[in-house]
């Protein structure tokens, strides 16, 4: 309904917006039962009423056409409004009913489905007088046809008032729930509308859902002119839109470390997140009426019968204290961030890290961040021209995705790691592996030293060879025998040539576990036979035992 922000009956009748939604939900259940029962008798009429013959200035539905930039569609809602204005002109007497849900239901049947036009016109005129006096019924559910009609009447009264006061609005064009929003979006896409905004006197949840579904950011503003103060919707389609692919979120280790102390939830404290945003940023564009409609969009989302889209909250907790959160809208595989808050340094950044993980693991293709801000770019976002954004938005909207904490992470205590990107997880694994490897390596080395694996038993031999083929054939046979012996560790053979010598040089390095194994190898008969053959094709052989050997291939000192 269209409220004056400083005179909201709902806001004063209940403790908070969430309780309003609970109350409205219970009313809707009763209402649906009543309407289904009463429709069987179209002659039904309210049992109580007061007649009023106050002369009224009569409007008609064409004021919406005259004030808007688009032709209003002839939907069922529009036809009800047109019939209503026709009925109030058929009589000069208003029938006012009591504020009881049963009476409201009977009036709706009589106005929209009954066959008594005299009664329907008197009831319609009574409803019109109620709207002029701004007496909004409390026992009438928000989603009812009558309440929808009341919102339409209030908008017509507002437009009449702004026209009479010559109050010019600088958010042209005006859009209505009757407009084709796909055409509106196309007008922005092809720059047929100057600027980034349009405006609407309708601040209602159903209309806001539709606008968000088409890629508009639904902010609001207030009309303040002389004694008039009203909230109006200002849908925005940015010339440059800031977007991000969830996998490309840039994360800082210090934030992830702090995040291990925090807890993340989804859709558990929407009302508290709204309160936190207003507390940190002020009402800004979240005026009371907008807050109320957003609560309806969240808590009564089943009322709208729209599958796969919704208004959500993301919360970060430290113990039982809410320290950060945001509200956002999902449609298809697109998530749009609307606003957020934080009370502890880095908690807001961590909330975005966690949200990126939720979007990624649930298959969201696009994260719409709204207007450009430097910190968004630092986190990995980029800007898109309006036409490209609309194309990308429309494409991603066609794929379904569920907005929830992934099942496999709901009971995972290692939050800081689960929200890291794949690249960061790989880095963590490599670093962890290196540290663990170093620890294990030191322990293994101690055991090997204790077992005598690091001994002084190197075979170091250099050869000057005059028959390479024969030398290498016999040396390879000798090396294979060595490899089969107990206590053998490794062998390296290096070949070198000098400019001033024609004969090649070979340098052999072989390590054994202990002296006993080396002696057994040397005393083996086949070893003697092959060693003799090697000696025959070598002009000289030298054996030595160095103090230190440096292995330059891995730049380490080899213990012996």
CATH code at 464?
Answer: 3.30.70.100
Residues near 320 by Cβ (< 8 Å), separated by ≥ 6?
none
Structural domain of 417? 240-425
Q: Are residues 42 and 89 in the same domain?
A: yes
Contact of 100 with 139, CB cutoff 8 Å: yes
According to the model, what pLDDT value does residue 99 have? 92
Structural domain includes residue 224? no
Contact of 155 with 161, CB cutoff 8 Å: no
Instruction: Name the token pair of 23.
Output: 């109350």
Contact of 505 with 462, CB cutoff 8 Å: yes
Structural domain includes residue 492? yes
According to the model, what pLDDT value does residue 13 have? 34
Mean pLDDT (whole number) for 500-527 = 73
Cα–Cα distance between 431 and 437 in angstroms, integer?
10
Instruction: Name the token pair of 161.
Output: 């008032």
Instruction: Name the token pair of 266.
Output: 């989804």
Q: Which of 164, 185, 219 finishes a domain?
A: 164
pTM: 0.70
Q: Are residues 410 and 543 in the same domain?
A: no
Residues near 261 by Cβ (< 8 Å), separated by ≥ 6?
318
Q: Are residues 393 and 476 in the same domain?
A: no
Structural domain includes residue 216? no
**pLDDT of 454 higher than 60:** no
Q: Which of 130, 164, 198 finishes a domain?
A: 164
As for how many domains the chain has, the answer is 3
Mean pLDDT (whole number) for 76-103 = 92
Q: Which of 164, 181, 201 finishes a domain?
A: 164
Structural domain includes residue 542? yes
In this structure, of 8-22, 55-69, 140-154, 317-331, the range with the lowest mean pLDDT score is 8-22
Q: Are residues 24 and 115 in the same domain?
A: yes
Structural domain includes residue 7? yes
Q: Are residues 412 and 292 in the same domain?
A: yes
Q: Are residues 391 and 268 in the same domain?
A: yes
According to the model, what pLDDT value does residue 430 have? 66
Reduce the DSSP state of residue 234 to 3 states and report it: strand
**DSSP conformation class of 477:** H
- What are the pLDDT digits (tens) for 327-355? 999 999 999 999 999 999 999 999 999 99
Comparing CA positions, the residue from 389, 414, 515 lying closest to residue 459 is: 515
Mean pLDDT (whole number) for 494-499 = 64
Contact of 220 with 232, CB cutoff 8 Å: yes
Structural domain includes residue 364? yes
Chain CA centroid to CA 473, Å: 68
Q: Are residues 421 and 463 in the same domain?
A: no
Q: Are residues 413 and 327 in the same domain?
A: yes
**pLDDT of 234 higher than 70:** yes
According to the model, what pLDDT value does residue 73 have? 65
Q: Are residues 41 and 102 in the same domain?
A: yes
Cα–Cα distance between 495 and 425 in angstroms, integer?
44
**pLDDT of 546 higher than 70:** no
Comparing CA positions, the residue from 234, 201, 208 lying closest to residue 219 is: 234
Cα–Cα distance between 235 and 220 in angstroms, integer?
8
Confidence of residue 559 (pLDDT cuts 50, 70, 90): very low
Comparing CA positions, the residue from 461, 362, 467 lying closest to residue 410 is: 362
Q: Are residues 49 and 108 in the same domain?
A: yes
Q: Are residues 469 and 421 in the same domain?
A: no
CATH of residue 404 = 3.40.630.70
In DSSP notation, 408-456 reads GGTT-S-HHHHTS-HHHHHHHHHHHHHHHHHHHHHHHHHHHHHTT-S-S
- What are the pLDDT digits (tens) for 387-398? 999 999 999 999
**pLDDT of 244 higher than 50:** yes
Structural domain includes residue 537? yes
Percentage above 70 pLDDT, the chain = 82
Structural domain includes residue 193? no
According to the model, what pLDDT value does residue 551 have? 46
How many Cα neighbours within 13 Å face the side chain of 527? Answer: 14
Q: Are residues 372 and 302 in the same domain?
A: yes
**pLDDT of 305 higher than 70:** no
According to the model, what pLDDT value does residue 540 have? 65
């Amino acid at each position: 309904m269209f409220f004056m922000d400083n005179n909201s009956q709902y806001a004063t009748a209940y403790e908070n917006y969430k309780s309003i939604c609970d109350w409205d939900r219970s009313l809707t259940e009763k209402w649906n039962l009543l309407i289904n029962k009463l429709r069987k008798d179209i002659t039904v009429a309210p049992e109580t009423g007061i007649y009023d013959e106050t002369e009224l200035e009569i409007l008609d539905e064409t004021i919406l056409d005259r004030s808007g930039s688009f032709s209003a569609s002839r939907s069922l809602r529009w036809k009800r409004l047109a019939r209503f204005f026709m009925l109030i002109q058929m009589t000069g007497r208003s029938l006012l009913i009591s504020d009881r849900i049963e009476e409201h239901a009977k009036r709706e049947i009589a106005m929209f489905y009954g066959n008594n036009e005299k009664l329907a016109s008197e009831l319609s005129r009574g409803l019109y007088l109620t709207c002029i006096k701004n007496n909004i019924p409390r026992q009438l559910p928000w989603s009812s046809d009558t309440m929808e009609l009341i919102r339409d009447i209030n908008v017509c009264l507002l437009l009449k008032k702004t026209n009479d006061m010559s109050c010019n609005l600088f958010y042209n064009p005006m859009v209505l729930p009757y407009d084709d929003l796909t055409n509106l979006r196309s007008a922005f896409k092809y720059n047929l509308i100057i600027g980034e905004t349009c405006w609407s006197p309708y601040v209602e949840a159903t209309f806001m859902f539709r606008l968000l579904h088409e890629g508009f950011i639904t902010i609001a503003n207030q009309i303040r002119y002389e004694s008039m103060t009203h909230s109006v919707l200002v849908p925005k389609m940015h010339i440059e839109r800031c977007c991000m692919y969830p996998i490309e979120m840039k994360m800082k280790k210090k934030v992830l470390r702090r995040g291990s102390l925090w807890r993340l939830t989804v859709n558990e404290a929407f009302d508290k997140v709204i309160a936190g945003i207003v507390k940190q940023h002020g009402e800004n564009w979240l005026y009371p009426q907008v807050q109320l409609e957003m609560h309806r969009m969240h808590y009564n989302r089943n009322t709208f019968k729209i599958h796969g889209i919704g208004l959500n909250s993301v919360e970060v907790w430290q113990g039982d204290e809410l320290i950060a959160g945001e509200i956002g809208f999902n449609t298809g595989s697109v998530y749009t961030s609307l606003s957020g808050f934080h009370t502890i340094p880095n908690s807001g950044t961590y909330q975005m890290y966690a949200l990126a993980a939720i979007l990624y693991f649930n298959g969201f293709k696009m994260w719409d961040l709204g207007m450009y801000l430097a910190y968004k770019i630092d986190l990995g976002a980029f800007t898109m021209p309006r036409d490209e954004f609309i194309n990308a938005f429309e494409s991603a909207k066609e794929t379904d995705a569920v907005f929830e904490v992934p099942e496999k992470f709901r009971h995972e205590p290692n939050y800081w790691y689960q929200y890291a990107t794949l690249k960061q997880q790989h880095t963590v694994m490599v670093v962890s592996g290196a540290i663990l490897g170093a620890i294990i390596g030191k322990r293994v080395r101690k055991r090997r030293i204790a077992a005598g694996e690091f001994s002084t038993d190197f075979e170091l031999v250099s050869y000057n060879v005059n028959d390479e083929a024969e030398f290498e054939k016999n040396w390879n046979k000798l090396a294979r025998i060595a490899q089969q012996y107990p206590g053998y560790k490794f062998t390296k053979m290096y070949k070198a040539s000098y400019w001033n010598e024609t004969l090649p040089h070979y340098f052999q390095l072989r390590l054994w576990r202990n002296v006993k194994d080396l002696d057994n190898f040397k005393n083996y008969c086949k070893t003697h036979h092959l060693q003799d053959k090697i000696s025959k094709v070598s002009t000289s052989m030298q054996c030595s035992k160095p103090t230190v050997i440096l292995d330059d291939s891995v730049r380490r000192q080899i213990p012996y």
